[in-house]
């Protein structure tokens, strides 16, 4: 027969000890540990204490989980940043390659074109302008990407767009370009070239692709074509003039002299020094006071219209009389006008055979 257990032999349950989940600590020793002056078990006893709570209730478990979450978050964010920046870098590199190829095609077409056959050059500039618009419309930074690179890329595309559009418009009207038009195009090309150089210095992505310097010299190409055409026309005109009879030549000389005077006066009214000099002899251009053509000089008094009064042959020159109407303006009175009469002496250049203004005086 089995013996009945005494009360002392019965197991003591956790609930009978009054311990909660957060207080379940057991010791390797049966006796009560000694305590130090702060009421804490000695270090050797602390190390022997084991946390019997479930793992999901232990503080160390959640500390590890929180730390892991932070590391995972950092890794995820870093990965997204790397991905966004690498995608932006690749996009800019690819699109810059497209811009460089388009600029190269445009330069090639312009170099092959002639004054009388400029349609292909104009079309190449149109295509490049459209390409720049397309690239700019898609130039957006990826999530957590390199916004600074994208902004810098957009700025250089904008400078190239301004230059390309101006060249495109001039290529479509090359026969009517003036010196000021070409100077304006040169300014745009300089700004675009500096923008490209700054962008390539700041970005290592564009080292393998570069826009050649010839692309930024379209104004010089236009100017050479215009000069070559003008010289050719002058040559043909000189040949035609040589074939005219003396009477016909006299009529032609008079018309050329009158045209020179008219062209000069038109440029004078417009305030274009460069165009004025085209119809002046070198000595007259050196003597002339061009300050009267400046905007500051004309702030209250400026020429408005002109009229040719007479043309007379004087030996081997022509004396042409013109009247120029001026407008005076003031903040205190209404505008007034007055007329000044000028006498021009037009002579023929011995080399170019052009009729040019050699002097001007008041009548």
Domain of 296: which CATH number? 3.10.450.50
In tens, the pLDDT along 280-313 reads 999 999 999 999 999 889 988 999 999 999 999 9
190 inside domain: yes
Predicted pLDDT at 309 = 97
What are the tens digits of pLDDT across the range 320-357? 999 999 999 887 878 899 999 999 999 999 988 999 99
Task: Mention every residue, 6+ apart, whose C-beta is less than 8 A from residue 185.
Answer: 163, 166, 167, 170, 218, 219, 222
Same domain, 291 and 331: yes
C-alpha angle with apex 277: 231 to 295, nearest 5 degrees? 140
In a domain, residue 37? The reply is no
Domain of 107, in residue numbers: 71-227
Q: Are residues 108 and 215 in the same domain?
A: yes
Residue 39, in any domain of the structure: no
CB 222 within 8 A of CB 230: no
**For position 17, what pLDDT does the model report?**
47
Structural contact between residues 281 and 357, judged by C-beta atoms closer than 8 angstroms: yes
Same domain, 195 and 297: no
Q: For residue 150, is it within any domain?
A: yes
DSSP, res 147: H
Backbone angles phi, psi at 330, to 5 degrees: -150, 155
Residues 6+ positions from 15 with CB-CB distance below 8 Å: none
Q: Within a domain: residue 15?
A: no
Centre a 10 Å sphere on the Cβ of residue 311 and count the other Cβ atoms it contains. Answer: 17
**Same domain? 178 vs 276:** no
On whether both 220 and 272 belong to a single domain, the answer is no
On whether both 216 and 314 belong to a single domain, the answer is no
* 50 located within any domain: no
pLDDT value of residue 94:
79
Position 349 scores a pLDDT of 93
Note whether 140 and 275 are same-domain residues: no
Task: Please report whether residue 349 resides in a domain.
Answer: yes
Are 148 and 268 within one domain?
no
Radius of gyration for the alpha carbons in the chain, expressed in angstroms and rounded = 45
Beta-ladder partners of 328 = 301, 336
Residues of the chain with pLDDT under 70: 1-53, 55-89, 139-147, 204-209
- Tell me whether residue 8 is in a domain: no
Cross-strand bridge partners of residue 16: none
Burial code of 20-52, b = ≥16 C-beta within 10 A, e = fewer?
A: eeeeeeeeeeeeeeeeeeeeebeeebeeeeeee
What pLDDT score does 139 carry? 66
The structure tokens listed for 160 are: 């190239």
**Are 197 and 254 part of one and the same domain?**
no
How many domains in the chain? 2
Residues 276 and 179 sit within 8 Å (Cβ to Cβ): no
Instruction: Give the residue among 52, 30, 53, 49 at the shortest CA–CA distance from 40.
Output: 49
> Do 287 and 180 belong to one domain?
no
The verdict on 209 and 261 lying in the same domain is no
* Pair 123, 263 in one domain: no
């Amino acid at each position: 027969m089995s013996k009945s257990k005494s009360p002392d032999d019965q197991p003591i349950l956790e609930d009978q000890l009054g311990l909660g989940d957060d207080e379940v600590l057991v010791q390797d020793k049966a006796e009560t540990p000694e305590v130090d002056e702060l009421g804490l078990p000695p270090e050797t006893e602390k190390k022997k204490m084991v946390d019997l709570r479930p793992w999901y209730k232990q503080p160390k478990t959640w500390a590890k989980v929180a730390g892991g979450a932070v590391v995972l978050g950092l890794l995820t964010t870093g990965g997204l940043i790397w991905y966004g920046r690498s995608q932006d870098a690749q996009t800019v590199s690819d699109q810059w390659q497209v811009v460089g190829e388009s600029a190269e095609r445009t330069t090639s077409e312009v170099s092959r074109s002639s004054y009388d056959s400029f349609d292909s050059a104009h079309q190449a500039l149109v295509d490049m302008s459209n390409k720049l618009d397309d690239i700019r419309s898609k130039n957006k930074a990826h999530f957590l990407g390199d916004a600074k690179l994208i902004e810098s890329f957009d700025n250089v595309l904008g400078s190239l767009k301004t230059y390309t559009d101006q060249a495109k418009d001039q290529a479509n009207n090359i026969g009517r370009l003036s010196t000021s038009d070409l100077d304006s195009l040169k300014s745009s090309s300089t700004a675009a070239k500096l923008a490209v150089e700054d962008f390539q210095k700041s970005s290592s992505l564009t080292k393998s692709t570069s826009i050649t310097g010839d692309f930024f010299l379209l104004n010089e190409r236009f100017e050479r074509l215009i000069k070559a055409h003008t010289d050719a026309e002058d040559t043909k005109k000189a040949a035609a003039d040589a074939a005219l009879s003396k009477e016909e030549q006299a009529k032609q000389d008079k018309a050329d002299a009158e045209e020179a005077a008219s062209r000069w006066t038109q440029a004078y009214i417009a305030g274009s020094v460069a165009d004025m000099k085209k119809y002046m002899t070198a000595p007259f251009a050196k003597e002339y006071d061009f300050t009267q053509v400046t905007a500051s000089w004309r702030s209250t008094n400026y020429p408005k219209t002109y009229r040719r009064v007479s043309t007379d042959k004087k030996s081997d020159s022509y004396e042409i009389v013109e009247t120029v109407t001026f407008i005076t303006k003031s903040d205190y009175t209404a505008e007034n006008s007055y007329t000044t009469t000028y006498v021009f002496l037009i002579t023929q250049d011995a080399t170019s055979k052009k009729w040019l203004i050699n002097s001007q005086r008041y009548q």
